Chain A
Amino acid sequence: MTYSAHFRIWRGSAAGGSLQDFDVDVSEGEVVLDIVHRIQATQAPDLAVRWNCKAGKCGSCSAEVNGRPRLMCMTRMSVFTEDEAVTVTPLRAFPVLRDLVTDVSFNYTKAREVPSFAPPEGLAPGEFRMQQVDVDRSQEFRKCIECFLCQNVCHVIRDHEDNKPAFAGPRFFARLAELEMHPLDTVDRRKRSQEQHGIGMCNITKCCSEVCPEGIKITDNAIIPMKERVADRKYDPVRWLGARIGRRGDGGAEV
């Protein structure tokens, strides 16, 4: 079954742009990325779009479809009715390069700001021994495909460009949690999560979790546990006192 769908695709650059209309054939089983490619092949050969795997694994084809951040290759046409216009724009929280392609280097800057994994001194690669129960939590965050949909939807920076320098974003809160929960990591990232990465700006409204194509429970399993750890370190006078008097000189971290 083929039908003609109405598409509105944002075209332009940082200098300006607008939504342009296309009528295009859609066949059964197709996804939004297929249709964008058909438009590129038949009507707009210079339409810029980034993609790679077509299998929801490379995180390249992030865009906004009918206003919702999604992977184009994982958005089936069958979720729309045949007479519904399908609007595709580039990610709206990052600078646009051209058409559907944005410059996501903000995320690479933020990635570099997270202190990397630091195993105990004297332990060489190959000597690491870990229990599965101890790495389960970190492994959830390893599923991340770095599509940056979570970063894009987060209102802290999406609606407030001025917060970008002070805010790492949900993808990197997950990274901080991954390392903080890692059984062999030795760096205390709790205080800096608040002071350098801006986790306090997150108001746990969960949009990052809503859009994550890997289904990572970013808010429940990374951000809130990190906020609780920050509270251990910074906002819990009882634990603070306990750490002063007791043996734990590390501000109440528990091994």
Chain B
Amino acid sequence: MSSVTSAPGRAEVEARTLRSDRWWVSPAVTFGVLFLFVVYATWRAFEDRHYFAEPYLSPFYSPCLATSCAPGSSDFGAAAGDWWRLSPALLILVFPLGFRLTCYYYRKAYYRAFWLSPPACAVAEPHRRYSGETRFPLVLQNAHRYFFYAALVFNVILTWDAILGFRNEDGEWGHMGLGTVVLLANAALLTVYTLSCHSCRHVVGGRLKHFSRHPVRYRLWTYVSRLNARHMLFAWLSLFSVAIADLYVRLLATDMFSDPRFF
């Protein structure tokens, strides 16, 4: 079978690609890491246990909005009430999940690594037909900006969670442990990831025609552009930090590790 790169009139080359480098390494690594994260996150979201170790709350469960939340973990009230019977993580999961799923960087990553469209540059994809992001469901990627706005709110919440980490197990302020550092680092990385977002770059100033008429927004745009150039890096770092923060809380909650307290 000739590859999809062939068409009448084109130079006849049978090979799917003539690339001689190891082009498959990068999509394979991306696939592996994202796959592991999805498995871990799914398991943790459904586990519905070990997500709170006073004063630390796992980012997968924050904000915890159901009456069934672990005592003391609902810092923003149990708004969802008691009709919600499933894991409270599932109530809020759609926001961070939707943000990453529609992120321009992750789109590139999973279109390449999971959908092989294309697996790498100048390597033929396996699909006979292709319509990109023009039809349902992929046309919904255009809603990314709404997830960006939601992510800003989540960043505030997770930062607040990290601040609450300056208490001890009895709720007294003025203490700090390794967990505080873990939650702070996670909140910071998530914030940088969010601020480096392409929609953010557009909203703060990218959509303007005349920067000269909007000096403040232009300044903001240059800052965000600088972060935006490293968006991929922040996407990965914040993915790891969320998983590590959750794992850390789980280790504490299951007594497999005890939080080193600094003061």
Chain A interface residues (CB < 8 Å from chain B): 10, 12, 14, 16-19, 64, 66-69, 84, 87, 89-90, 92-96, 102, 131, 133-134, 136, 153, 155-156, 158-163, 181-183, 198, 200-207, 210-211, 220, 224-225, 227-232, 234-236, 253-255
- Chain B min CB distance to A210 (Å): 5
- Chain B residues within an 8 Å CB radius of A133: 211-212, 218
- Chain A residues within an 8 Å CB radius of B228: 220
A155 touches B209 (CB 8 A): no
A68 touches B122 (CB 8 A): yes
Chain B interface residues (CB < 8 Å from chain A): 3-5, 7-13, 15, 17-21, 104, 107-108, 111-112, 117-118, 121-125, 127, 129-134, 138-139, 142-145, 198-199, 201-202, 206-213, 218, 228-229
B133 touches A236 (CB 8 A): no
SS class, residues of chain A in contact with chain B = mixed
B206 touches A159 (CB 8 A): no
- Chain B residues within an 8 Å CB radius of A198: 132, 134
B18 touches A87 (CB 8 A): yes
Q: A203-B117, A255-B209 are in contact. List 20 more A-B contacts (CB 8 A).
A: A10-B13, A14-B8, A18-B12, A66-B19, A67-B18, A67-B122, A69-B122, A96-B9, A131-B212, A155-B117, A159-B5, A162-B129, A211-B121, A220-B229, A224-B104, A225-B202, A229-B202, A231-B144, A234-B142, A253-B207
Knowing A131-B212, A227-B142, the reply to whether A204 touches B11 (Cβ < 8 A) is no
Knowing A64-B122, A163-B130, A254-B207, the reply to whether A158 touches B117 (Cβ < 8 A) is no
- Chain B residues within an 8 Å CB radius of A205: 108, 111-112, 117-118
- Chain A residues within an 8 Å CB radius of B213: 255
SS class, residues of chain B in contact with chain A = loop
- Chain B min CB distance to A99 (Å): 9
- Cα separation A224 to B206 with both chains bound (whole Å): 10
- Cα separation A253 to B207 with both chains bound (whole Å): 7
Tally of A-B residue pairs with Cβ under 8 A? 167
Interface residue from A136, A163, A206, A236 paired with B145 (Cβ < 8 Å): A236
- Chain A min CB distance to B134 (Å): 4
Q: Please give me the residue from chain A that is nearest to B123 by CB atom.
A: A67
- Chain B min CB distance to A48 (Å): 12
- Chain A residues within an 8 Å CB radius of B112: 205
Q: Please give me the residue from chain B that is nearest to A160 by CB atom.
A: B130
Interface residue from B7, B199, B202 paired with A161 (Cβ < 8 Å): B7
